[in-house]
Amino acid sequence: MSTQLTENHRRLVVAPMMELTDRHYRFLARLLTRHTLLYTEMLTCKAVIHGDRSYLLGKETVEGPVVLQLGGSDVNEMAEAAHIGQEWGYDEINMNVGCPSDRVKAGRFGACLMAEPELVRDVIAGMQEKVDVPVTVKCRLGIDRDDSYEALESFAGIVLQSGCKHLIVHARKAWLDGLSPKENRTIPPLRYEYVYRLKQAYPDVHISINGGIDNLADTQSHLQQVDGVMIGRAAYYSPAMLAEADSTVFADIPGGHTHTADFATLSQVARDYAAYMQPWIDKGVRPSAMSRHIVSLFQEVPGARLYRRHISEHAGKCTDALSLVNGALEHINIDSSAANTSNTPMAANEVAQSDSPTSSSIDERRAN
């Protein structure tokens, strides 16, 4: 099931999301799509160097390809953390130049580094010296009032002097003062045209677009303009959309899943995921830490609400993951041909409710 990372895998990518894209979610995503490139949550370089590596970096072999996202701005520490990431089997290292949280800003990393392109260039160059895998940058359009297209092109030009060949651009600027991370994912307007222009300015660089893309049809149309599409919230809150990625976005790559997002497929995915959960439960991991990722597998089909409620209410005392999942699936009362949930955009209120800012406890664990 494990695949080698190629340029083609960057056509569709699930975004790094703190508290969401952990190893359990990535396992689920891999059951749905073999080829979509997956990201870790962001880890600070200090956490990678000084923290519990097996907890932070451990991953399933079947997860690959996976990108490790790092936060930091110290050239030596970032290089060391990148090297450690490569040793742990990550297929690519990505530098976070897009996170707008105060905490991240205080640590001088994330989006505030858009004001220091030379430093980003030097950090990337330092990481590239230490690893053989690709080193990439995820950034915003700009920050605060420095948000013209020209500023973005200039930022990219300096960063690319490092030899970096891949940029992922969240097509909104970040307001560093006054907006929360969550607001910074909705309030600044999306400007896809800036990313398209960036691709025209740097035709030899692999440019991926991110922000507000929630289905495979729109993915295909962005791919007419840029090399890759990164999807965040939709891939988490409507994971079924990934079920048809291999047969659409990656149709030309052998070895992908040929299934569709119908009831038969999704219920089998849920059962396979239960089989994955069981050894973790036996080792003492909280079932809800894993079952939370399949809560949104079924949407807008009869019984989906009861399915969700069953998982949420019974996960706490669960000792048998398959019974939990089978019990939830019993609520979905539908003929399989009608259960296609792919390309179903999540309801706006679901995004608003679920897109919670990172908790301080997780931040602390990772920021070390």
Ligand X SMILES: Cc1cc2nc3c(=O)[nH]c(=O)nc-3n(C[C@H](O)[C@H](O)[C@H](O)COP(=O)(O)O)c2cc1C
Interface with ligand X (CB under 6 A): 15-20, 41-42, 69, 96, 98-99, 138, 170, 185, 210-213, 231-234, 355
**Residue 117, token pair as written in the block:** 């392109």
Q: Which alpha helices (DSSP H) does 190-256 contain, by range?
A: 192-201, 216-222, 233-237, 245-248
Shortest distance, position 210 Cβ to ligand X, whole Å: 5
What is the spatial distance between Cα 68 and Cα 66, in angstroms, rounded to a whole number?
7
Shortest distance, position 255 Cβ to ligand X, whole Å: 26
* Cβ contact 65:47 at 8 Å: no
* Cβ contact 263:291 at 8 Å: no
318 is catalytic: no
**Residue 231, token pair as written in the block:** 């999807």
* Cβ contact 95:136 at 8 Å: yes
Which residue's C-beta sits nearest to ligand X? 232
Catalytic residue among 45, 99, 139, 164: 99
CB closer to ligand X, 170 vs 222: 170
Other C-beta atoms closer than 10 Å to the C-beta of 74 total 17
CB closer to ligand X, 129 vs 193: 193
Identify how many contiguous H helices and E strands the chain contains and give both numbers. 17, 8
CB closer to ligand X, 64 vs 212: 212
CB closer to ligand X, 338 vs 362: 362
CA distances from 116 to 159, 205, 278 (A): 10, 21, 46
Shortest distance, position 73 Cβ to ligand X, whole Å: 14
Shortest distance, position 21 Cβ to ligand X, whole Å: 8
Catalytic residues: 99
